[in-house]
Structure 1
Amino acid sequence: METKRMIFVILISVLLSLSLPVRTDYVRPQPRKTLHFPREPKHPSLPHQVHISLAGENHMRISWITDDNSAPSIVEYGTLPGQYTFSSSGEATSYNYLFYSSGKIHHTVIGPLEHDTVYFYRCGGQGPEFQLKTPPGQFPVTFAVAGDLGQTGWTKSTLDHIDQCKYDVHLLPGDLSYADCMQHLWDNFGELVQPLASARPWMVTQGNHEKEKIPFFTDAFESYNARWKMPFEESESTSNLYYSFEVAGVHVIMLGSYTDYDELSDQYSWLKADLSKVDRKKTPWLVVLFHVPWYNSNHAHQGEGDGMMTAMEPLLYAAGVDLVFAGHVHAYERSKRVNKGKSDPCGTVHITIGDGGNREGLAQKYIHPTPEWSMFREASFGHGELKIVNSTHAFWSWHRNDDDEPVRSDQVWIISLIGSGCLAEKAYESSKILVSP
């Protein structure tokens, strides 16, 4: 009898395995180790960790570090190699973190700049020449999107794949360096991303790994705020943790999952005011980024975004936000248009893309059955590309790291809420929520 029971169990197991969908085209790769950076001596006045970001209309902020505190915060630039017809002076800061002292961190805004133009520039009056390309002034425009980067072999793969993409702006929804209080890792990260971040604007927001708060010793986000200054002042925000910018017909809002977001908070008031000023004739696409996802069918970090969602989703829905990008969960997931926890044709497409290459590994356990709002989900490292073709249509694709860049693992055409006619339906609700005191 026992033998028959075992045979029956084995037979049932075999039949069940045959009935389940099997993906024979993809085998998840093994983890890769943390990168190690050899210490190469540099002249103290030479720039390193160079990265750029948008800084208001037709302007760019150039950021870099020198070990010489007397080095000037000057950027010389022009449209021909070695011929710098313009120059700008900026500001500098530094910080101490326990026994670590940063170098001199320079931030210099250059412009006005022409759209879709290559500029050559030099930081601090000496050192190597860099070049950047400004975003276009009209559609089409392409964004590379990758969060939770870190400094592993998979991070390097992600960056290599993004480098093959013809993109205009990089969007990063939090968790940059994974320094986690070890400040030299911020320096390593700056060197790692410099080849890409010095050539295209990187627009970032904070994640939990940027907190680095040590009670009685250091404030939260001190390193992040000093190194990665974003255009918060240009967008009338009082905090580097949330801000907005516009590029080629797209209004992008970067929010902070780790600063106050309730209805009495400064961030909530700023968001409400910023959304009320968006001109959808000028910027028909509205995109939002923050770190902790609101729509997440992975077991990892389940429910962590609920408080922010309760407070802010009504604002985003009333304003007609087209897309939300989040990180935190180390996997990929794309939703239908959703609102209030269920599908809504006039809601927002939510994309979790916290799979850039971090050292903590992938979040491989999903909730079953799949929620009706979830369209695609997979625990793999990768990056996304958002090409906004015109005022009504955009093409989104997600690329696994172990595939060649042209191979898309998920892809979809997205019609804007303007194109769908939803914004006309939202007009009354928007006036009630966004304009009311």
Structure 2
Amino acid sequence: MKPNLKTLVSVVSLAVVSVINVTATTGDYIRPAPRKNLQFPWSPKHSSHPQQVHISLAGDKHMRVTWITDDKSAPSVVNYGMSPGKYNSVAQGESTSYSYLLYSSGKIHHTVIGPLEDDTIYYYQCGREGPEFKFKTPPSQFPITLAVAGDLGQTGWTKSTLDHIDQCIYDVYMLPGDLSYADYIQSRWDTFGELVQPLASARPWMVTQGNHEKEHILLIKKSFAAYNARWKMPYEESGSSSNLYYSFDVAGAHIIMLGSYTDYDEFSDQYSWLKADLAKVDREKTPWLLALFHVPWYNSNDAHQGEGDNMMASMEPLLNAAGVDIVLAGHVHAYERSQRVYNGRSDSCGAVHITIGDGGNREGLAHRFKDQQPEWSVFREASFGHGELKIVNSTHAFWSWHRNDDDEPVRSDEVWITTLRSSGCILEESRDLRKLLLQP
């Protein structure tokens, strides 16, 4: 029997993955048995039917709506309004597509809508066809709740994590890298888009890249082709030249999304952008300052030890001088929360570092922690789960971590966090920040 195109794509892609896996090096750490991947039965849809719908913040009072159609002639139009079925506004967007080995994506639509009212429900339709969706814009003032989980994947644990987040009353979801675990099999990007659509079409998803998004093939394919095409973030709106790093404001928080897998040394574009972005932060307007990236800088797990050291050496002085309150990372498939820490030790004017790469990936949990828990490490556990950061006001926020084995309301770890600005650290450190920003 003659093989079809999908079979050929899978065979070629798996061959590439096999070659890459053979050349990879591993340490002493041995992962536990992986969880089963979810199964996605084929569901035929009309070629112009919107698929994989998700939204993301796109500058002040604007939202980017992203979806995919098999029909390459489908319009990149979003109709929207404040009442079901009544659309008094329309926006025209742009589209892109990409190919990867024998795979060709559908038409990927990106349409920015707005200006929008704060803390308001909107109803919308993509491409003038298909079902009606709705989303809620974040509030402009405190309180605001941010849901966080990295390293999602597409397993039974992923489904559990998403179900827990769906029960959380949150305004924005943040994902510090490793989304689909497609790992060169491009159809997995499509199934991931369908899996997260119920949540991602209703609240903005703000993501940054991880190692599983690279999908680099030497001399054949550049890194992050699928990620950049499918998950466009507000990098242009924040003055960045790359979709791999950007920033955005929500309520009274300025949030910086950095790239662990693009250049970050002091001569890099990312470093220059970060300096410029921090120079524009107004702590009167955004008293909270957060940073997200994939590879943790503070990690007492045996997995991925030292992988963030170079980025930390380059960028931690900038973040510390600017008074970043909380740093969130993924990569390590476990949960860990630190004291305020800087330069390798506890520091009352440092950031709280949280590793939350426990969203549900197929590689399993990182069970092995170092026997000697560092003095800066407060809580650590190898369980799947998600975090919630409720910023109550300009000085106080409540962080909680929710283990998937428990009901969502159960807090497995919790702590109140106050801003460095309210503690007086910003005034002390501002001179250091000015010095760093004035350096050529």
Larger radius of gyration: 1
**Contact 1:363 1:379 (8 Å CA) reproduced:** yes
- Structural mapping, 1:357-368, within 5 Å: 357-368=360-371
Could you tell me which runs of 5 or more consecutive residues in structure 2 were left unpaired when the two chains were aligned: 1-31
How many Å separate the matches in 2 of 1:237 and 1:432?
Answer: 22
Cα distance in 1 for residues equivalent to 2:273 and 2:412:
37
The aligned residue for residue 73 of structure 2 is: 70
Question: Which residue number corresponds to residue 380 of structure 2?
Answer: 377
Identity within the alignment, %: 75
Tell me the residue number matched to 2:158.
155
Residue 427 of structure 2 aligns to which amino acid in structure 1? Answer: A
Deviations 1:205-228 (A, max 9, x none): 000000001112111000000000
CA drift at 1:30: 8.9
**Mapped partners of 1:183, 1:156: distance in 2:** 20
- Residue deviations 1:179-227, cap 9 Å, x none? 0000000000000000000000000000000000111211100000000
Contact 1:173–1:205 (CA under 8 A) maintained in structure 2: yes
- Maintained 8 Å contact 2:264/2:311: yes
What is the CA-CA distance between 1:435 and the residue it aligns to?
3.4
Q: Provide the rounded CA distance (Å) in 2 between the counterparts of 1:121 and 1:379.
A: 40
> TM-score if structure 2 supplies the norm length?
0.92
Return the match for 1:194 from 177, 190, 197. Answer: 197
SS of 1:325's equivalent in the other structure is strand
- Report if the CA contact (8 A) 1:319-1:434 is conserved: no
The corresponding residue for 1:298 is: 301
* Deviations 1:154-191, CA, capped at 9 Å, x for gaps: 00000000000000000000000000000000000000
1:123-165: per-residue Cα shift (whole Å, max 9, x none)? Answer: 0011100000000000001000000000000000000000000
Contact 1:318–1:434 (8 Å) recurs in 2? no
Contact in 2 for aligned 1:119/1:131 (Cα 8 Å): yes
What SS does the aligned partner of 1:330 have?
A: coil
Aligned counterparts of 1:211 and 1:30: Cα–Cα separation in 2? 24
Give 5+ residue unaligned stretches, structure 1.
1-28
Match status 1:134 vs 2:137: yes
Paired residues of 2:238 and 2:248 also in contact (CA < 8 A): yes
Amino acid at match of 2:274: L
Q: Which residue number in structure 2 is paired with residue 353 of structure 1? A: 356
Q: Which residue of 1 aligns with 2:276?
A: 273
Query: Is residue 427 of structure 2 the alignment partner of residue 424 of structure 1?
Result: yes
- Secondary structure in 2 matching 1:179: coil
1:237-256 matches, within 5 Å, as: 237-256=240-259
Tell me, yes or no, if the aligned pair for 2:176 and 2:294 is still in contact at 8 Å: yes
Provide the rounded CA distance (Å) in 2 between the counterparts of 1:434 and 1:421: 20
1:404 aligned partner? 407
1:33: Cα distance to partner? Answer: 1.3
1:114 is matched by which residue type in structure 2? E
- The equivalences for 1:19-34 within 5 A come to 32-34=35-37
Query: In the alignment, what sits opposite 1:288?
Result: 291
RMSD: 0.9
2:112 aligned with 1:113: no
Q: State how far apart, in whole Å, the 2-side matches of 1:434 and 1:155 are.
A: 41
Kindly indicate whether the alpha-carbon contact (under 8 Å) linking 2:33 and 2:364 is maintained by their aligned counterparts in 1. no
**TM-score computed with the length of structure 1 as normaliser:** 0.93
Per the TM alignment, residue 368 of structure 1 is displaced from its structure 2 partner at its CA by 1.7
Runs of 4+ in 1 over 3 A off after TM superposition: 29-32
**CA offsets, 1:322-377, max 9 Å, x none?**
00000000000000000000000000000000000000000000012100000000
**1:41 and 2:44 are equivalent in the alignment:** yes
Deviation of the 1:246 alpha carbon: 0.2
Partner of 2:7: none
